[in-house]
A and B are shown apart, each in its own frame.
Chain A
Amino acid sequence: MAALMLRWSCLGKRWVLACIDGGSRHGRGAAIGLTSRRKRGQSSVAQQPLIAVQKSRKGEHEWAAVVGLEIHAQISSNSKLFSGSQVHFAAPPNSLVSFFDASLPGTLPVLNRRCVEAAVMTGLALNCRINKKSLFDRKHYFYADLPAGYQITQQRLPIAVNGSLAYSVSVGKKPSQVSTRTVRIKQIQLEQDSGKSLHDEPRSQTLIDLNRAGVGLLEVVLEPDMSCGEEAASAVRELQLILQALGTSQANMAEGQLRVDANISVHHPGEPLGVRTEVKNLNSARFLAKAIDFEIKRQIHELENGRKILNETRSFDDKLGCTMPMRDKEGKQDYRFMPEPNLPPLLLYDTASLPPGADPQQVINIDWIRERLPELPGKTREKLIQQYGMLPEHSFTLLNEVGLLEFFQNVIKETRAEPKKVTSWVLNIFLGFLKQQNLAVNESPVTPSALAELLNLLDRKAISSSAARQVMDMKRGNPRAINKLIGLVRKATLSRADPTVIKEILERKLSS
């Protein structure tokens, strides 16, 4: 039997295992099956979990993967959630720790107003219902970086529930083929972060730094409406952009300000959901999709070979590209949730229910916060499309690259060139140049003014577009290009311009 080549692809909500086997009946069947399934999927009711369908090689049995996420975002605040010690990334160990953070007896939690506001803002931005009364609970477990032996969280009645997050995935090879998906948000809750453990295997000890202990976290729980790594990664990216736009979290995954845990299971469509595993501490956008897709494949492989999936916690080894079991096999954890006895219920108000004569420092008005919400990424993209006539996928790229939108807007301000020209230049040539040189936008040697000038020259037809591109070449450190450029400018000015002067002007402009 000819070897089957299996090509995996996740076209948005459709996992397709296309069997390329020189026109076998199986292969053709798969293709036909895919189209009809897609049509059916598109007409289904929005509330149903999106089913990703993957055909296995062995039988005609389809697999559907179900992915839910728990995202922890560190709140951007000066002090911690329940104490007045500082929130800061790099500091000498245990220097940002108060007596409460170290869990010394006799200390009590005092809620930080800024953290509550951050939670309300985030809830509103994600279309949640804000609970006017929410409660704090204790979640008990023993670990060296949790000095109290419990974490204060909001398990029974969180601050926000029932929201939604819209994100976009590519559904084809062309960049224009994007589709919008929605994932439901189960809840958003306030909770404490734990300290940091540094494992010192050779000396058989763990070093504990409590600087991070007690920092406020927003836990955003996404319902299992996603079906593959790409969807999950897109949803997380969009959430990151929203949090950054709101200023509630810097959501920098590399600095540990955004951590994602994924709950993954597979099942045959129509049958009950399978046993799920939890993949913890996915701390990089790059590995998020990889880890989830690996786990889906692993589960399918296990089940197809007659084995069972254990309800366990796994972690992703990025070097090996696989997930491995993590916790000791204690079975299901029992957190012994109990109400936090030291904190009364958290009450929030709106304009209608605001008690008259209340101290403004002591009350939070949801309506007041809603009126002052910053512009969200979705709205920014909409405006870009309307104002500058750019394609939706361009607006996504502009927002996805850190600092690129600001750069673009600065160029627009200073140039007379048409917006479409600016868009094309920024997204193709400028961005391409940065990628090639492996630079971030804020490291770019080309300033917005410089690019604006260049585009002005282009617009005035003082230089040709190939000449303009050569300027970019110049920035790559190609000195011969400047001479060529001088030649072109001379030609353009019909040899009326003095070459030395041209060189001077160009050098001045290029070095700015």
Chain B
Amino acid sequence: MWARAVKLGLRSWVGWRRGFTSKVDPQRSGRVTAEVIEHMERLALVDFGSQEAVARLEKAIAFADRLRAVDTDGVEPMESVLEDRCLYLRSDNVVEGNCAEELLQNAHRVVEEYFVAPPGNISLPKQDEQEPFSHI
């Protein structure tokens, strides 16, 4: 379920990138370069782990690419599958909160009602520095 969500997310992202950077080339092999994989791993903190996973990604992209066969000239892009729904407007009243204790129970470490996080962002190590991960 999580993998599918990631795939959908990645597809939309890669599709968006493609749309801006390259013209449609039906002859392209659809290979995803190691550079792009590393970039995506860094951005999304997703572990591609093996060549198999990359191949699966390429197949998914090729599958989505079939959409290009459809003629969409003059058709307004759909922004949301919820476009026919009404966006509900909530009135400005305070109805939630005051549950610090409950929330902090989820935290690994807590200091005086604050969540504790490592200092700043810790960058993912570069490709050659990474240890091979096993699939979780």
A-to-B contact residues, CB < 8 Å: 77-79, 83-86, 92-100, 102, 104, 110-116, 135, 140, 142-144, 156-157, 197-201, 204-210, 328, 330, 334, 336-339, 341, 343-347, 361-362, 364
A residues within 8 A CB of B81? 341
**With A and B bound together, what is the CA distance between A361 and B88 in angstroms?**
9
CB pair A343 B116 closer than 8 Å:
no
CB pair B91 A361 closer than 8 Å:
yes
**With A and B bound together, what is the CA distance between A199 and B111 in angstroms?**
13
B residues within 8 A CB of A347? 86-87
Whole-angstrom distance between the Cβ of B33 and the nearest chain A Cβ: 16
Question: In residues 18-48 of chain B, which contact A (Cβ within 8 Å)?
Answer: 39, 43-45
**With A and B bound together, what is the CA distance between A93 and B115 in angstroms?**
9
Whole-angstrom distance between the Cβ of B8 and the nearest chain A Cβ: 9
B12 at the interface (CB under 8 A from A): yes
Q: When A92-B100, A97-B100, A199-B119 are in contact, do A110 and B90 touch as well, CB less than 8 Å?
A: yes
B9 at the interface (CB under 8 A from A): yes
Q: B12, B92, B104: which contacts A338 (Cβ < 8 A)?
A: B12
B interface bracket (residues with beta carbon within 8 Å of A): 35 or more
Whole-angstrom distance between the Cβ of A53 and the nearest chain B Cβ: 36
B72 at the interface (CB under 8 A from A): no
Q: Is the interface of B mostly helix, strand, loop or mixed?
A: loop
B125 at the interface (CB under 8 A from A): no
Q: When A334-B43, A344-B86 are in contact, do A113 and B100 touch as well, CB less than 8 Å?
A: no
**With A and B bound together, what is the CA distance between A113 and B89 in angstroms?**
5
A residues within 8 A CB of B43? 140, 334, 336
CB pair B112 A206 closer than 8 Å:
no
**With A and B bound together, what is the CA distance between A110 and B90 in angstroms?**
7
B-to-A contact residues, CB < 8 Å: 9, 12-13, 16, 39, 43-45, 79-100, 103-104, 106, 109, 111-121, 123
Interface centre among B90, B93, B111 (most CB of A within 10 A): B90
Q: A94, A116, A362, A364: which contacts B103 (Cβ < 8 A)?
A: A94
Q: B84, B96, B106, B121: which contacts A142 (Cβ < 8 A)?
A: B121
**With A and B bound together, what is the CA distance between A85 and B115 in angstroms?**
18
B residues within 8 A CB of A97? 97, 99-100, 103
**With A and B bound together, what is the CA distance between A217 and B63 in angstroms?**
39
**With A and B bound together, what is the CA distance between A207 and B85 in angstroms?**
40
Q: A83, A104, A210: which contacts B115 (Cβ < 8 A)?
A: A210
**With A and B bound together, what is the CA distance between A201 and B118 in angstroms?**
10
CB pair A206 B117 closer than 8 Å:
yes
Interface centre among A99, A201, A207, A209 (most CB of B within 10 A): A207
